[in-house]
Amino acid sequence: MAKRPPVLAPYHHFTKAQWGALRADEKMTLSREDIARLRTLSDPISLEEAEEIYLPLTRLLSFYVEAIQGLHNVSTRFLETPDQKVPFIIGVAGSVAVGKSTTARILQALLQRWVSSPKVDLVTTDGFLHPNAVLTERGIMNRKGFPESYDRGRFVNFLADIKSGKGQVKVPVYSHLVYDVVEGGEVTIDRPDILIVEGLNILQPGELPRDGKPILFASDFIDFSIFIDADNADLEAWYMERFFRLRDTAFRDPSSFFRRFAEMSEAEAGDYGRQIWKTINLPNLLENVLPTRGRADLVLKKGKSHMIEKVQLRRV
């Protein structure tokens, strides 16, 4: 009986200890105070975990940046075109409450401290959400965070401008306090060496045109992608933990969109928070976010403690 051909596993798998050993002689350039400043409300990341997870990652990224730059140099020589800086784009994806913002901020801080002192900018996709007025008009306010709630054309154009070396590219600003895009608010991204893009749906390919015409997706511009993974039950617990912390802090601001949660009883607020998770965040995770995990170059799997326990690196 003929043997079945071996199944090709798309990822290398590492325990935390195995991955940490790959830092080699990479030096930690952040302090405990830096880590405390960079982490988000419910993310208990420590300096030790940053050393074990993010130092090997920054070492790997240095090789990727060098390889992409080499490929670009080959292309410009072949085409005999002027050589210009092409930013390296890193994507950070994953569920609500999984810790994307902490990962993106720590990466930015570490990459900025490379010996070459690269210019590293960070952008979240929240600014590319349609304003609340548009979402309300389209009847999709309850699907905020789903792919259709974003101005995907504007986001793709932004990435195309960055990748082409265009300077002074404007990015819309989102306020979590008022839960809306800030009218007239913009930040400027000007020819970074590295751009980190953090968001729920950045790895989605979208639907392909039936006529075969070329079409660009946001993921086409990402040179290295990271997906932060966790079990659904843990994600819900972290979301609720963050929800109650915000209820005791930011939600009490009179201008907060969520001011009413601060005025509810703890039981009422908890019921409402769990309803938001079950009717919005969980369906979006299952339908849109989780299916993109297999497209990531690196998967960081967190355990119940919110600490990363396993690492998967896509085979090249």
pLDDT in tens, 50-95: 999 999 999 999 999 999 988 888 888 888 887 777 899 999 999 9
DSSP string computed for 233-297: HHHHHHHHHHHHHHHTTGGGSTT-TTHHHHHS-HHHHHHHHHHHIIIIIHHHIIIIIGGGGGG-S
pLDDT given for residue 3 in this prediction: 67
Q: Which two tokens stand for residue 57?
A: 């990652």
Residue with more model confidence, 3 or 184: 184
For the chain, list the domains and their CATH numbers: 11-314 (3.40.50.300)
Q: How many residues does the structure list for the chain? A: 316
Mean pLDDT of 139-160: 94
**DSSP secondary structure letter of residue 272:** H
- φ and ψ of 307, to 5 deg: -90, 145
Residue 233 has pLDDT above 70, yes or no: yes
Average pLDDT, rounded, for the chain: 91
How far is 265 from 269, CA to CA, in rounded Å?
Answer: 6
Residue 4, classified by CB atoms within 10 Å of its CB into exposed (0-12), middle (13-18) or buried (19+), is: exposed
281, 231 in Cβ contact below 8 A?
no
